[in-house]
Amino acid sequence: MGNWVNTKLIPQILKFVNVKPIVALKNGMLYTMPFTIVGSVFLLLANLPVESWAKWVTDSGYGAYFNQAYGASFAIMAIFAVIGIAYSYVKSEGYEGMAAGMIALVIFILTMSSSITDPETSVTIGNIINKDWTGGKGMISAILIGLVVGSVYSWFMKRDIRIKLPESVPENVANSFTALIPAAVLITGSLLVYIFFDKVFSLTMIEWIYQVIQTPLQGITDSFGGALMIAFLVPFLWFFGIHGSTIVSGIMGSLLLTNSLENQEIIDSGKELTLANGGHIVTQQFMDQFLTVTGAGMTIGIVVFMVFFAKSAQFKELGKMSLAPAIFNINEPIIFATPIVMNPLMVIPFIATPVVSATITYFALYSGLVPLFTAVQVPWTTPPIISGLLIGGWRAAVLQLVVLVIGFFIYLPFIRKVDSMNIDVEEGKPIV
């Protein structure tokens, strides 16, 4: 079994996660992170669930200013994504990537409608960039456009199909001309695509992708099965020493973030955020704060055992070293030093804990015991309980505490057994 894992399974997993589109998607989406966090701060300020603060925000009019900052950062995630993905793809091929990022942005804007019609007055306003599509609703289009532009631009560069200027020409000028041929081909091709969708479907490409591809994908991620799949995949990949958190976030994070943004749009439209009004359960906060909180596998239970109950010198020392990082959701010391990686005894609670947490959290949100999450995000290093309080109020904080306590008891018999084995090793006894 172990030989099959090492020779067959792990190479196939590594092969998949290292293909160019997956790497570009993972790296490109990282460029959205600072704007997500900063935008969330302003969104939280505009919607802080404290009555006195909410009254002051409303009476003072500062809510409009906070929402302005949110709208210029978090609400245009698809723009950052399309640039970042195309840039990362071309950069990984060894070429200057900024031109590709700009081309991707042009195509992203080109393939959406430049006008909007007021349904009440039937008045059409033109020459706009519709922010309905620059956030979550346009995310899958942004990913596809970024990957296609990155691939095609790299194809031109590899075949040296570009305008070359003398070496005496400044580099920034030369780079502009380098991008001219692929830009002309890509933009012309995108215009033809825009015309095709307009004539055949009476839709823009972005609208078609949203209806045919993105909405079904969001439905899958937002299901109970989707929640369990995410909860399983992160620790499963980590068991083999592969950074499951980064990989799963890179692939599915765009959909989870879109679910968060659509929840916020429900509130912004004046409706109550409920499942009946189209609210989503499985969002980015669902993963960050209830599936990977305190690190992949939710390993704070192991740390608590080591600090307060461990008998072996190894675990006592490891617990002291790991406590502070664990509070800030960093658990690599625990994963590699316990160890959990390739440890068949510890893989059971390592996977079971987030799966149980996913089950409890899903039905807590489904039943209304805990409110659905808005678009408010917190830095991934925010300590548990505090993060729950910020994203969902006291009920989300209590839910975090509940699943972490349950996680401790799931880990307890397994980590106690490993601790006793460590004692035997330290005392020179044979391991049984």
285-343 residue pLDDT tens: 999 999 999 999 999 999 999 999 999 999 999 999 989 889 998 888 899 888 898 88
Residue 341 has a pLDDT of 85
- With tokens 């709208």, the residue in question is 71
pLDDT tens figures, 187-237: 999 999 999 999 999 999 999 998 988 888 888 888 999 999 999 999 998
Average per-residue pLDDT for the chain: 88
Judged by average pLDDT, the poorest of 86-100, 147-161, 255-269 is 255-269
Residue 246 has a pLDDT of 75
Residue 124 has a pLDDT of 81
Please give the share of the chain, as a percent, with pLDDT higher than 90. 47
Please compute the mean of the pLDDT values over residues 118-132 and round it to a whole number: 81
Please compute the mean of the pLDDT values over residues 20-24 and round it to a whole number: 86
Residue 144 has a pLDDT of 93
Q: CA dist 392 to 273, 315, 373, 396, Å? A: 12, 35, 6, 5
- With tokens 């978090």, the residue in question is 74
Contact 170, 207 (CB under 8 A): no
Q: Give the separation between CA 3 and CA 300, rounded to whole angstroms.
A: 31
Q: Give the separation between CA 375 and CA 323, rounded to whole angstroms.
A: 30
- Report the range out of 215-224, 388-397, 420-429 with the highest average pLDDT: 388-397
Please compute the mean of the pLDDT values over residues 40-44 and round it to a whole number: 83
Q: CA dist 155 to 10, 152, 177, 182, 204, Å? A: 30, 5, 16, 9, 27
Q: Give the separation between CA 108 and CA 89, rounded to whole angstroms.
A: 16
Residue 432 has a pLDDT of 52
Residue 80 has a pLDDT of 92
Structure tokens at 325: 């990082």
Q: Give the separation between CA 186 and CA 207, rounded to whole angstroms.
A: 20
Judged by average pLDDT, the poorest of 69-73, 217-221, 370-374 is 217-221
The whole-model pTM stands at: 0.79
The pLDDT of residue 255 is above 50: yes
Residue 1 has a pLDDT of 46
The pLDDT of residue 61 is above 80: yes
Residue 4 has a pLDDT of 58
Residue ranges covered by each domain of the chain = 21-220, 223-425
Residue 315 has a pLDDT of 92
The residues with which 126 forms a beta bridge, in sequence order, are 115
Contact 68, 147 (CB under 8 A): no
Q: What SS3 class is residue 32?
A: coil
Q: What SS3 class is residue 144?
A: helix
Residue 214 has a pLDDT of 86
Residue 157 has a pLDDT of 93
Position with higher pLDDT, 247 vs 297: 297
Position with higher pLDDT, 150 vs 246: 150
Go through the chain and tell me how many residues it has.
432
Q: Give the separation between CA 355 and CA 349, rounded to whole angstroms.
A: 9
Please give the share of the chain, as a percent, with pLDDT higher than 70. 95
Contact 133, 103 (CB under 8 A): no
